[in-house]
């Protein structure tokens, strides 16, 4: 299952110093709510991405605590102000203990 989980990130092209950029993220993940039942009537165990965090050059920018009320393949967009070139680092935490990470370099014009 874990192999299907893939983060996707989109950042605007050609950013300039001081720009406030919209970062769009999506991670493919079932976000099993723990409320659903299978055909035999057994509850399907909960498995969600419960936390997400973003840093820019190691400094925290944005983070979130997610509940089962977040849709499957959680999509999140937020903003970051860039004053210098650097790396955006993303981290998602799964209920099963897995951590998924991604990085995106931002080079200012």
Partner 1 sequence: AAALTAIAARPAAATPETAKQLLQTLAKGEPKEGRVTLKAPEIAENGNAVPVTVSVESPMTDKDHVKALHIVADGNPNPGVASFFFTPLAGKCEVQLRVRMAQTQKIVCVAEMSDGTLWSAAREVKVTIGGCGG
Interaction site with partner 1 (CB under 8 A): 20, 24, 33, 35-37, 56, 59-72, 74-81
| Nearest distance in Å: CB 59, partner 1 | 6
Please tell me the distance from the alpha carbon of residue 34 to that of residue 38, in angstroms, as a whole number.
Answer: 11
**What φ, ψ does residue 4 adopt, rounded to 5°?**
-80, -10
Closest to partner 1 by CB, 3 vs 38, is 38
| Nearest distance in Å: CB 63, partner 1 | 5
| Nearest distance in Å: CB 98, partner 1 | 20
CA atoms within 13 A on the CB side of 92: 26
């Amino acid at each position: 299952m874990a192999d299907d989980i893939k983060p996707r990130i989109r950042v605007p092209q050609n950013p300039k110093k001081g720009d406030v950029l919209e970062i769009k993220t999506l991670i493919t993940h079932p976000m099993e709510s723990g409320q659903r039942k299978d055909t035999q009537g057994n509850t399907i165990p909960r498995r969600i991405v419960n936390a997400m965090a973003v840093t820019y050059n190691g400094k925290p920018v944005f983070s979130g605590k997610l509940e089962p009320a977040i849709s499957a393949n959680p999509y999140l967009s937020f903003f970051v102000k860039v004053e210098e070139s650097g790396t955006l680092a993303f981290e998602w935490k799964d209920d099963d203990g897995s951590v998924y990470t991604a990085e995106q370099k931002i080079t200012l014009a």
